[in-house]
Amino acid sequence: MGLLSRLKAKYRHTIEKKYVKSITRRQFNLTISEDIIFGVKFLAAILHVPRYVITEHLLQVGSYHILSAIKDEDERRKLEEHLVKVHLLGNELKNEEALITSNTN
């Protein structure tokens, strides 16, 4: 049983190496919510890709939306308030996110 687990781990590691032979990455250490960490692990497992791939994609998509919000002064103010209230000061991400989503629709 242990041999099979080791072979699976080695095979999975070989696949990951195949995808990143020519790509270099830097580590980006920071403190984030455990819910986000769990979500990234969950998405990576579903899509059968390494966690850094999902994380990088989420950062790219988030950056795109943030950049589009920055162009409008009112949207920028709302974004700044959201970032301070929810991500800097608060830890109730789920409740605040639901409120913001319902207000924007």
What is the pTM for the complete model shown?
0.59
Q: What is the pLDDT of residues 21-55, one digit of tens each?
A: 566 777 778 888 888 899 999 999 999 999 999 99
* First CA to last CA distance, the chain: 52
In percent, the amount of the chain with pLDDT more than 70 equals 64
Task: Give, to the nearest 10 degrees, the angle between helix 51-70 and helix 73-82.
Answer: 140
pLDDT of residue 105: 44
pLDDT of residue 60 exceeding 80, the answer is yes
Kindly report the average pLDDT of the chain as a whole number.
Answer: 78
> What would the two tokens of residue 16 be?
């990951």
pLDDT for 20 beyond 60:
no
Higher-pLDDT residue of 86 and 67 is 67
